[in-house]
Amino acid sequence: MANYEFGKIKMGGMFSSVKVGFQIKFESPLPDGEKKSISMFLESDGKPLGRLEYSKTGNKSRLNTFVIQDWSSIKYAEGLLTKYLSSMKKQGVSLVDHELYDTDDKTHQKLQLFKRFRFNVENRGNITGYNQYYLTLNL
């Protein structure tokens, strides 16, 4: 089962916006919650822009995966994260957490993005060759 929603992402100019679509899909049940994914794509040609996967248990949500396919504009990442956080607020979630590993050259951009959205960032050190960051946000 999947739901489709459409929206706009402001790209910075007064009249500059991009129409995007969101596919919200139920992935699997959990013992006391559910796992869902949100995929974002361009409405004009269906080009994938990003995807995230999260699990929700009670009033807590864990962001499991956050992948952006198109880093040509940080606004795409901001749009996907905004959609996720607004959805969590509507569902009554009070705490969002995420573990981020320094595995590619976009980790710094992701950390800056999460900091702009007021996530608390805790460096957990080097785990099996990768720096680990633990991020939390109280909604």
Long-range contact pairs involving 114-123 (C-beta distance under 8 Å, separation at least 24): 114/81, 116/78, 117/81, 117/85
- Please give the biggest Cα pair distance in the chain: 47
pLDDT at 14: 75
Count how many domains the chain has. 1
pLDDT digits (tens, 9 = 90+) for 119-132: 999 988 887 778 89
Name the band, by pLDDT with cuts 50, 70 and 90, for residue 16: confident
Find the domain containing 123 and state its range.
Answer: 2-138
Amino acid at 91: Q
Q: Are 75 and 110 in contact (CB under 8 A)?
A: no
Q: How far apart are the first and last CA of the chain?
A: 27
Range 4-32 burial, b when 16+ CB lie within 10 A, else e:
eeeeebeeeeeeeebebbbebbeeeeeee
CATH number at residue 70: 3.40.630.30
pLDDT at 139: 87
pTM of the full predicted structure? 0.91
